[in-house]
Amino acid sequence: MTAVVDTPTPTPTPTPHRTYSRWTALVVLCAGTLMTILDGNIVTVAMPAVQSDLGFSGPGLAWVVNAYLIPFGGLLLLVGRLGDLVGRKRMFAAGLAVFTAASVLCGLATGQGMLIAARALQGVGGAMTSAVVLGMLVALFPEPREQARAIAVFSAVGAGGGALGTFLGGALTQALNWHWIFLINLPIGIVALLAAIRVLAPEDGEGLGRGADYPGAALVTGALMLTVYVIVGSGDRAPATTLVLALAAVALFTAFTLRQARAARPLLRLRLFGSRLLSGANAVQILMIATMYGFQFLGALYLQRVLGFGELLTGTAFLPAPVVIGVLMLGLSARTIGRFGPYRVLLAGLGLIVAGMALLSRAPADGSYLADVLPPLLLLSVGFAAAMPALTGLAMSGAREEDAGVASGLFNTTQVVGGSLGLAVLSVLAAGRTEGLLADGAEVVSATAEGYQLAFRVGAAVAAGALGLAAVVLRPRGRA
């Protein structure tokens, strides 16, 4: 009888799984964020050229900026939640595609209506891209030390991109024309989109079946859009009209809150606001960003209208900011936060911002860049480089994993609200002071300089408020 020998069945070779580099993914996320941030600032220096070419009136020109800010700020919470449901990679990639296509439409615009409509579409794409980035970053780097490094890199790109946008806006407008401040996004957007599809790890999300509370989404989107509209257009309307619109926004927010308390699947879980770190960090950010946006806008106007700088020279004058911010955030920020803790680093950074704004409030009509602008610019850059990563880490540490997308959208929303608020309030104060002095017979340059001085003093007070709020609300409790 012949023995039968069992031959072992060969084990099939497993199909190798594709590996995804977290740090490469971070580069892609930063590239997408940089494109949206650059575009938010690149427009400011080119505004006179846009006005001259397309025939905008003074109030009408503001809508080149407002048309972007309103959908951007209004949609962040909704698309942040949708990113949790459909997958943050899908939302990020779709946002890049929408933003890039809208940028081309902006660059090809030959009339006011086309440009404003394309800018609104840009705001939609920017919201889709920005709302999910922090949630993806926190998921990629759960370990605290690595997360601090990643947030430092991300914050450096965001902060440096703002000042770099001012330079590029002046350079492209002067060397070519204003259309190229938008068309430059086409090659950048295509590369970023292809890299996102290739590099970012796929994720399924919770599924649309979990629901996004669309009635609540409609309420909060309307409330946020109306809030941004009230803020950015406050200087062009009668006070009574502004009050009515503000009350309408409050009513929408109240209805949204009641809806979230009762909804089976709320868009924004109200327990998020029970996190002292998340709520406190967002409140501090509103005040800090209000100060920084006001400085960036009014600082550029001071250089142009008081010191007589041209577009390119104004952009060049801001270049030390992204250099300082990038060096400090990439080289020192994570290690400093790891050694001293985010709370202490945040307070130190806010203190430098207060000092920088106070010093800038002394800039006279016969001032100079080296003596009156560069020193406060460096103080503000160092302060922001310290404060922003620490504040971001504190905010996101107060959110659970399943809420990361909404928490990221909320953090970006408060940035928009703070920036819009600071820009509107400080601009109105500067203009009011200047107009009053001109009515009294003051010389134009002197009156303009004093208007900016008042705005910078108020900005210093707002930054001091952020410092005081952070010291009280974000103080560590117990032992970490």
Is residue 18's pLDDT more than 60?
Answer: no
231/418: higher pLDDT: 418
Among 26-30, 47-51, 282-286, which stretch is predicted with the lowest mean pLDDT? 47-51
Q: What is the pLDDT of residues 297-339, one digit of tens each?
A: 788 888 888 888 876 787 788 878 877 877 777 666 667 777 8
Give the pLDDT confidence score for residue 19 in this predicted structure: 47
Are 328 and 390 contacting, i.e. CB atoms less than 8 angstroms apart?
A: no
Confidence band, pLDDT 50/70/90 cuts, at residue 205:
low
- Interior/surface letters 420-441, b for 16+ CB within 10 angstroms, e for the rest: bbbbbbbbebbeebbeebeeee
Tell me which range, 179-183, 229-233, 275-279, is most confidently predicted by mean pLDDT.
179-183
Confidence band, pLDDT 50/70/90 cuts, at residue 366:
confident
Confidence band, pLDDT 50/70/90 cuts, at residue 163:
low
Average pLDDT (114-141) is: 83
What's the Cα-to-Cα distance from 42 to each of 71, 190, 210, rounded to whole Å?
18, 19, 39
Is residue 186's pLDDT more than 60?
Answer: yes
For helices 133-140 and 88-107, angle between their N-to-C axes, nearest 10 degrees = 140
314/57: higher pLDDT: 314
Give the pLDDT confidence score for residue 8 in this predicted structure: 46
What's the Cα-to-Cα distance from 38 to each of 2, 142, 287, 298, 331, rounded to whole Å?
80, 28, 22, 18, 22
Q: What is the pLDDT of residues 448-479, one digit of tens each?
A: 888 888 999 999 999 999 999 999 888 877 54
Average pLDDT (73-87) is: 75
422 CA to centre of own chain: 13
Tell me which range, 135-144, 320-329, 426-435, is most confidently predicted by mean pLDDT.
426-435
Q: Which of 413, 467, 396 is nearest to 150 (CA)?
A: 396
If you ran DSSP here, which 8-state letter would residue 18 be given?
Answer: P
Is residue 16's pLDDT more than 50?
Answer: no
Q: What torsion, rounded to 10 degrees, do the Cα atoms 204, 27, 75, 97 define?
A: -80
Give the pLDDT confidence score for residue 258 in this predicted structure: 84
Give the pLDDT confidence score for residue 5 in this predicted structure: 43
Give the pLDDT confidence score for residue 1 in this predicted structure: 41
261/362: higher pLDDT: 362
Average pLDDT (109-119) is: 87
- pTM strictly above 0.75: no
Average pLDDT (26-46) is: 76
Give the pLDDT confidence score for residue 398 in this predicted structure: 57
Average pLDDT (354-378) is: 90
Q: Where are the alpha helices (DSSP H) in 176-303?
A: 180-183, 185-199, 214-232, 239-262, 276-301
Is residue 234's pLDDT more than 70?
Answer: no
What's the Cα-to-Cα distance from 185 to each of 37, 62, 98, 191, 425, rounded to whole Å?
11, 22, 12, 10, 31
Give the pLDDT confidence score for residue 152 in this predicted structure: 73
Give the pLDDT confidence score for residue 13 in this predicted structure: 43
Are 288 and 423 contacting, i.e. CB atoms less than 8 angstroms apart?
A: no
Share of the chain above pLDDT 90, in %: 10
Are 120 and 112 contacting, i.e. CB atoms less than 8 angstroms apart?
A: no
pLDDT mean across residues, the chain: 78
Give the pLDDT confidence score for residue 64 in this predicted structure: 77
Among 18-27, 172-181, 414-423, which stretch is predicted with the lowest mean pLDDT? 18-27
What's the Cα-to-Cα distance from 241 to each of 224, 229, 252, rounded to whole Å?
17, 12, 17
Give the pLDDT confidence score for residue 244 in this predicted structure: 86
